[in-house]
Structure 1
Amino acid sequence: MRVQLQAIVLSLVVVLVLGLGVPLALSVAASSQQRLFLDRLTDTSRFASLAQRPLLDNRPELLESELRRYTDVYGVPVEVLDQEGKPFVGAGDVDERDPAILPLLQAALAGRRSEPGSVLLPWDDGPLVLAEPILIDGEVRGAVLSVSPTGSARSDVLRWWLLIAAGSLLSFGLALLGALPVVRWILRPVHRLDDATGELVSAVVSGREVARVGDEHGPPELRQLGRSFDRMAASVGTALAAQRAFVADASHQLRNPLTALTLRLTNLDGHVDEAADEHRRAAAGDAERLNQILDGLLSMARAESSAGELVPVDIDLAVAERVEDWQVVAAARGVGLVLHEAETGARVQVPPRGVEVVLDALLDNAIKFSARETEVEVSVRRVGELVELAVRDHGPGLRPEELERATDRFWRSTAHQNVPGSGLGLAIVTEIARNGGGDLRLALPDGGGLEVIVTLAVAEGSNRA
C-alpha cells in the first residue's frame, strides 16, 4: 500500500510540475520570439521609410551605406526590392526566390505587413524573415526584406528551458522527500492495525490482553478507526473470557450434583423392583454420559486457555510413551495397537500436555470404534517444517459427506449414536493442533476405517530429518 500511495502522491507532483513547467517554458519561448520579432520589425519598418525617396529618385546609393552598416553591426542581411520584386539595393546575401522568403515577399508587395511566426524553439534553426511594404502616397512601390539569424535567441530559450527543467527536478526531489514522511505518517496506524489484527486471534484465544493500536499518529479518520478497533478487540476478549469462565464454572458446578446423582442411582441397585430397575440403569447410563460431556467441556476449556502457552515436546518419545500406556486398553478390547514410523528426531510446539491429550482422544475413538481382531496403526512422520501424527483404525469409518462436520463440537454420526461419547474429542484435537501451528484432516483409506492426521509445527532449533 505504501508504494501505491507514494506513486499517487508523486504522480500528482509530476502532473503539477508539468502543468506549471510546460506552459512556463512555452511562455519563455514565445516571449523571446516576440522580442526578436518586434526588434527586427522596427528596423525593417525604418528601412521601408528610408527607402521611399531613393526609390522615387532611383538613387540606390542613398540607402546602400545605411544598409551595409546595419548588416555589419547586427549581422542581418537587408534588401530593398522595387514594385516588380526586382532587387533595388541590398547588403548581405538574400535569396528572394527561397521558398521560405518568396511567399512573404509576395504578401508585402500586395500591401500586407509582417506577422509574428511560430514559437521560437531551440531546435528550430530557421531564420526570422520579415517583409515590409514600401508605401508612397498609399501605393506599394516596393518591399524591404530582412533575414535575421535566431541562434542567439534560441540559445537564450535553451538556457531558460534548462533552468526550468532543473527547477522542476528540484521540486520533484523536494516533493519526494516530503512525501516519504507524509506517507509513513498516514500508514503508521494502518501498519499498527495490521499487526494488531494478526495478534488479535492468538491474544484473545490465549486470554492475553490485546495490544492497543492507539490514536497518537496518523490522520483523524485512521485514529478513529484505531480507537474503534481497540473497543472491538476489548469486547471480543471480554466475551470470550466470559464464555470460557461460564463453561469452566458450569462444568465444575455440575460435577458435584452429577456425582451425587450417580451415587444415588448406584445405591438404588437392589432396592427397586424389576420393572423400575431398567429405568434406573438407563438413568445411570445418562449420568455417565453427562460426566463424559463435562470432562470434554473441561478439556476444551483447557485447550482454548492454553493457546498462548506453547512448549517444545519430543514428539517421538511422547507418542511412544502414550501408545505403550494404551496397549492395556487395546488388549482388553481385543484390538491390536501398532506404532509405525516414530523416528523423526523432531520437537514440536504444542500447549502443555498437548500431545498426550491429542493421542488420548484419537486412540480412545479408534479403539472404541474398532472391531475385535483388528489393528489401530499410529505413525509419526516429518514433512518439511511440519510433523504428521496419524492414527488409522479399521472400524466402520464415516461417510464422505460426514468428514467435513466430524470436527464440530458435539457432532456425532447418526450411525454411532449407540456408542458412548460426547462428540468433543476431534474438536479438542483440532483446537490443540491449530494452537500448535498445524491442523487436522480426516481421510478414508483403502480397506475401510478412518485415518485422522494431525499436523504440528516443528519447534525452532529442531533437528532436520
Structure 2
Amino acid sequence: MRSRLLGVVLALIVLVLVGLGVPLGRGVAAGEQQEMFLDRLTDTSRFASLAQGPLIDDRPHLMLPELQRYDEIYGIGVAVVGRDAPTVPLVASRTNLALGDPAVQELIGKALAGRLPVAPPLFTPWSDTQVVLAEPVLVDGEVRGAVITFSPTSKTRFEILAWWGLLLAASLLVLALAVLLALPVVRWTLRPVQALDDATGKLLAAVVAGRPVPPVGAESGPPELRQLSRSFDQMAANVSDVLAAQRAFIADASHQLRNPLTALKLRLSNLEGHVDAEAEVHQVEALSETDRLNRILDELLAMARTESSSVDPVPVDVDKSVAARLSAWQAAAAAKEVHLVLDGQRVGMALAPPRGIETVLDALLDNALKFTPEGTLVIVDVRRDGDVVRLSVADHGPGLQPDELDRATDRFWRSPAHQNVPGSGLGLSIVRLVVERVDGSVRLESPEDGGLKVVIELPAV
C-alpha cells in the first residue's frame, strides 16, 4: 500500500511538473527565437537601407564587399534581388543560396509586394532549419527589390537545448526532493494502517488462545486513522469478551449439568427391579441416554478448555505420547476384539499444546473403535517428513462419502448413515482445534480398502 500511495503522490507531482515545465520550455524556446528574429530583422533592415543607393544607380555590385564581410563574420548569407527577376540575385555573399526554393520564393514575393518580414514558426533543438527573412528595398515608397538573409539556427538551437536541459535537471531535482519529503509523510500516514494490519493478524491467535488482544496503540498518523485504531481496539475487546463469555458459559453449563445428570442416573439405576417388565426397556434406554449426555458434557468441557487455553505450545515427545495412549486403549480395543497396530518410525519431538497429542489420539481412537467392526485392525501410523510430523489413525469401518470428508470436523456434524451410533459429533472438532493451535492441519481420507483415515500434521521440533 505504501508503494501505491507513493506512486499516486509522485504521479501528481510529475503531472504538475509537466504542466509547468512544458509551457515554460516552450516559452524559453519562443524567447530565444524572438531574440534571434529581432537581431536578424535589424540586420536585414540595415542591408535594405544600404541597397537603396546601389539599386538607384544600378550598381548593386558595390554592396558585395559588405555582404561578404558580414557572411564571413556571422555565417549569414545575404542576397539582393531585383523586382523583375526575383530568382536571379543582383548580388549575393555566396553562390549557393537557395533562392529558387518555393518557400524562399514565397517570402521574396511578399517582400516585393511591400510586406515586412514576420517571425518564423517555432522550431525545436533537433530541427535542422534556417531562418529566412526577406525585406523590401523601398525608394520613395516604391519597391525596387528585396534583401534576403539566410541565418543558421545552430547557436539558437543549442541555447534552447541548454535551457531545456536545465529545466529537466531542475524538474528531476524537484522530483527527488518530493520523494524525500513524501516518504516520511506516506510513512506517517500509513503507520496506523500497518499497526491495524499487525493487530488483525494477532487478533485471531489471541482470541483462539484466550489471551487478551493486544491494542493497536496508534499514537501517530492522521486523526481519522487514529480514531479507526481506537474503534478496532474496542471491537477486538468486545469480540474477546463475547468469546470468553461463550466459553465460560459452555464450561459452567457442562459442569452444572453434570450433578443433575449423575443424580438422574442414580435414580434410574435405583429403579432397577422395581419397574414393570414392559417399562424395563424404557428404563434401560433412559440410562443409555444419561451416559450419552455425560459423554457430550465431557466433550463440551474438553472443547471449552481447548478453545480457552492460553498456554503456549511446547515440544512434546510424540513417540512416548502415542505409546502411552495405545496402551491405555488396549483394554477397550480387546473388549471389541479389535487390534491396535502401531506402524511407522520414531519421530522424536513435535510442537503441540500440553496434552494435545493425548487429546487428539483419544478422540481418534474413540471414533475408530466406535465404527470399526470386530476382528479388524486400527492402524496408528507415525512418520516424519522433513519439518512435519505426520500422525494418522485408520480404521475399517463404514467410512464417509467423498462430499462428507470436508464437513466431518464441523461441530455436532454427523453423517446421516451414523445417526444410530452413539456420539455427539464433537470429537473431530476438538482434534481440529488442537491441531490449529500450532498451525497444523487435519485431513480426512477414504482408503482404497475401506474405512476412514484421519491424518494429522504437526510442526516437528
Q: Is the 8 A contact 2:60 2:90 kept in 1?
A: yes
Query: Could you report, residue by residue, the CA deviation over 1:303-345 in whole angstroms, capped at 9, with x for unpaired residues?
Result: 1112652111121221122112211221122111100003223
Q: Is the 8 A contact 1:407 1:430 kept in 2?
A: yes
Q: Is the 8 A contact 1:306 1:352 kept in 2?
A: no
Q: Tell me, in whole angstroms, the C-alpha distance in 1 between the residues paired with 2:426 and 2:264.
A: 23
Matches within 5 A, 1:324-343: 324-343=327-346
Q: Which residue is equivalent to 1:424?
A: 426
Q: Tell me, in whole angstroms, the C-alpha distance in 2 between the residues paired with 1:88 and 1:412.
A: 114
Q: Secondary structure at the match of 1:214?
A: coil
Q: Which residue is equivalent to 1:204?
A: 207
Q: Is the 8 A contact 2:211 2:310 kept in 1?
A: no
Q: Tell me, in whole angstroms, the C-alpha distance in 2 between the residues paired with 1:342 and 1:36.
A: 93
Q: Which residue is equivalent to 2:181?
A: 178
Pick from 299, 302, 308 the counterpart of residue 299 of structure 1: 302
- Which structure 1 residue ranges, 4+ long, deviate > 4 Å from structure 2? 61-75, 89-94
Of residues 376-385 and 53-62 in structure 1, the stretch that sits farther from structure 2 once superposed is 53-62
Matches within 5 A, 1:28-39: 28-39=28-39
Q: Tell me, in whole angstroms, the C-alpha distance in 2 between the residues paired with 1:148 and 1:399.
A: 93
Q: Is the 8 A contact 2:393 2:454 kept in 1?
A: yes
Q: Which residue is equivalent to 1:452?
A: 454
Q: Which residue is equivalent to 2:250?
A: 247
Q: Is the 8 A contact 2:44 2:149 kept in 1?
A: yes
What's the CA shift for 1:114?
Answer: 1.8
Question: Amino acid of the residue matched to residue 6 of structure 1?
Answer: L
Q: Tell me, in whole angstroms, the C-alpha distance in 2 between the residues paired with 1:76 and 1:418.
A: 111
Q: Which residue is equivalent to 1:413?
A: 415
Q: Which residue is equivalent to 1:227?
A: 230
What's the CA shift for 1:171?
Answer: 0.9
Matches within 5 A, 1:52-201: 52-60=52-60, 67=67, 70-71=70-71, 74-83=74-83, 84-85=85-86, 86-91=88-93, 95-97=97-99, 99=101, 101-201=104-204
Of residues 259-268 and 54-63 in structure 1, the stretch that sits farther from structure 2 once superposed is 54-63
Of residues 210-219 and 325-334 in structure 1, the stretch that sits farther from structure 2 once superposed is 210-219
Q: Is the 8 A contact 1:307 1:435 kept in 2?
A: no
Task: Could you tell me which runs of 5 or more consecutive residues in structure 1 were left unpaired when the two chains were aligned.
Answer: none
Of residues 265-274 and 244-253 in structure 1, the stretch that sits farther from structure 2 once superposed is 265-274
What's the CA shift for 1:22?
Answer: 2.2
Query: Could you report, residue by residue, the CA deviation over 1:380-428 in whole angstroms, capped at 9, with x for unpaired residues?
Result: 1223432221111112223333323322222233333333222211111
Q: Tell me, in whole angstroms, the C-alpha distance in 1 between the residues paired with 2:175 and 2:57.
A: 65
Q: Is the 8 A contact 2:244 2:308 kept in 1?
A: no
Pick from 353, 356, 360 the counterpart of residue 355 of structure 2: 353
Q: Secondary structure at the match of 2:407?
A: coil
What's the CA shift for 1:447?
Answer: 2.0
Q: Secondary structure at the match of 1:453?
A: strand
Q: Is the 8 A contact 1:402 1:413 kept in 2?
A: yes
Q: Which residue is equivalent to 1:276?
A: 279
Of residues 235-244 and 55-64 in structure 1, the stretch that sits farther from structure 2 once superposed is 55-64
What's the CA shift for 1:12?
Answer: 2.3
Percentage of pairs with the same residue: 58
Query: Could you report, residue by residue, the CA deviation over 1:416-445 in whole angstroms, capped at 9, with x for unpaired residues?
Result: 333322221111111111112112222221
Q: Tell me, in whole angstroms, the C-alpha distance in 2 between the residues paired with 1:398 and 1:123.
A: 79
What's the CA shift for 1:357?
Answer: 0.6
Q: Which residue is equivalent to 1:51?
A: 51
Q: Tell me, in whole angstroms, the C-alpha distance in 2 between the residues paired with 1:10 and 1:315.
A: 56
Of residues 391-400 and 99-108 in structure 1, the stretch that sits farther from structure 2 once superposed is 99-108
Of residues 161-170 and 391-400 in structure 1, the stretch that sits farther from structure 2 once superposed is 391-400
Against the structure 1 CA distance between its residues 96 and 110, is the aligned structure 2 distance closer, same or farther, given a 3 Å change threshold? farther
Q: Tell me, in whole angstroms, the C-alpha distance in 2 between the residues paired with 1:153 and 1:417.
A: 96
Q: Is the 8 A contact 2:61 2:90 kept in 1?
A: no
Of residues 296-305 and 133-142 in structure 1, the stretch that sits farther from structure 2 once superposed is 133-142
Correspondence 1:378 to 2:380: yes
Q: Tell me, in whole angstroms, the C-alpha distance in 2 between the residues paired with 1:286 and 1:424.
A: 17
Query: Could you report, residue by residue, the CA deviation over 1:336-385 in whole angstroms, capped at 9, with x for unpaired residues?
Result: 1100003223x221111000011011111111222221111100122343
Against the structure 1 CA distance between its residues 399 and 90, is the aligned structure 2 distance closer, same or farther, given a 3 Å change threshold? closer
Q: Which residue is equivalent to 1:363?
A: 365
- RMSD over aligned CA atoms reads 2.3
Task: Could you tell me which runs of 5 or more consecutive residues in structure 2 were left unpaired when the two chains were aligned.
Answer: none
Query: Could you report, residue by residue, the CA deviation over 1:12-31 in whole angstroms, capped at 9, with x for unpaired residues?
Result: 22222222222212211111
Q: Tell me, in whole angstroms, the C-alpha distance in 1 between the residues paired with 2:402 and 2:173.
A: 68
Question: Amino acid of the residue matched to residue 357 of structure 1?
Answer: T
What's the CA shift for 1:226?
Answer: 2.1
Of residues 50-59 and 330-339 in structure 1, the stretch that sits farther from structure 2 once superposed is 50-59
Q: How many residues align?
A: 458
Q: Tell me, in whole angstroms, the C-alpha distance in 2 between the residues paired with 1:308 and 1:53.
A: 113
Against the structure 1 CA distance between its residues 440 and 135, is the aligned structure 2 distance closer, same or farther, given a 3 Å change threshold? same
Q: Tell me, in whole angstroms, the C-alpha distance in 2 between the residues paired with 1:219 and 1:150.
A: 55
Q: Tell me, in whole angstroms, the C-alpha distance in 2 between the residues paired with 1:115 and 1:161.
A: 25
Q: Is the 8 A contact 1:206 1:308 kept in 2?
A: yes
TM-score, scaled relative to structure 1: 0.91
Q: Tell me, in whole angstroms, the C-alpha distance in 1 between the residues paired with 2:402 and 2:91.
A: 110
What's the CA shift for 1:282?
Answer: 2.3
Q: Secondary structure at the match of 2:393?
A: strand
